[in-house]
Amino acid sequence: MIIIKSRAEIELMRQAAEVTALILRELSRVIRPGISTWDVDRFVEDTILSHGMIPAFKGYSGYPASACVSVNHQVVHGIPSKKRRLEEGDIVSVDIGTIHRGYYSDAARTYPAGEISAEAARLIATAEASFFKGLEFCRAGNRLSDVSAAIQSRVEEEGFSVVREFVGHGIGRKMHEEPQIPNYGLPGRGPRLAPGMVLAIEPMINQGGWEVDLMEDGWTVETRDKKLSAHYENTVVITDGEPLLLTI
């Protein structure tokens, strides 16, 4: 069952998401060569707490940090570390979430550290573009997989691939609610979108093949071919008109 949120609930999620959006904007100047992925986590956690909110990821299934910081061929769920210093040319995916009065927000971006290759920049831009292509289908009455199919074709037309093992999700009083939202698939399937649904839509896309592996730390996910990966996510409200982007 997909939970429909009331206006009041959406207002709380908007407030949660406002802090997430603010942090994601600030991260574009925080992330640079020389800082560690731990420093990124400190910034994220301190800012969430200073706004009186709770970091959604810390302690979630035992996850040890407030941000997931995934560098280069790391896809998602990279654990921040003092030992991992960013270098010129790295691309850095940061995924964060907040809880405000019991309601969640969830969003991610991929950032360049200094100057990056043209191919890396195109990968990052394609993750974002595929999200916005999917967003065009986020309208009441459409089928959920219309969104998935739009994301997949936007990614594949660039010659990149879509991660299969991780998907977007409904969000609300829990970080992960129904439905699951794959970033691939045929259109015209799945539930119909309806006003009041809140969805975390999050293409994770790879420069090479779609296959990924879980590392021995039990969290970090990497591309099997060790090529680059990028991630772009927002918390989105379905309305009776244009979708509402909470985390921008």
Chain positions 87 to 116 lying near Co ion, rule: CB under 5 A, are 106
Distance CA 163, CA 202 (A): 10
Chain positions 182 to 201 lying near Co ion, rule: CB under 5 A, are 200
- On the CB side of 202, how many CA atoms lie within 13 Å of its CA? 31
Nearest distance from C-beta of residue 78 to ligand MF3, angstroms: 10
Residue type, 204: M
In the list 68, 75, 150, 245, the residue contacting ligand MF3 (rule: CB under 6 A) is 68
Tell me if residue 218 falls in helix, strand or coil: coil
In the list 5, 14, 73, 77, the residue contacting ligand MF3 (rule: CB under 6 A) is 77
Q: What are the structure tokens assigned to 133, written together?
A: 């292509």
Chain positions 102 to 131 lying near ligand MF3, rule: CB under 6 A, are 106
Nearest distance from C-beta of residue 98 to Co ion, angstroms: 12
Count of helix runs (H) and strand runs (E) in the chain? 4, 15
Site membership for ligand MF3, residue 57 (CB under 6 A): yes
Nearest distance from C-beta of residue 106 to ligand MF3, angstroms: 5
57 binds, among Co ion, ligand MF3, none (CB under 5 to 8 A by kind): ligand MF3
Distances in Å between the alpha carbon of 202 and those of 50, 181, 189? 26, 8, 19
Site membership for ligand MF3, residue 60 (CB under 6 A): yes
- The residue among 194, 193, 192, 196 whose CA lies nearest residue 9 is 196
Residue type, 97: G
Residues that bind Co ion (CB under 5 A): 106, 200, 202
Residues that bind ligand MF3 (CB under 6 A): 57, 60-61, 63, 68, 77, 95, 97, 106, 200, 202
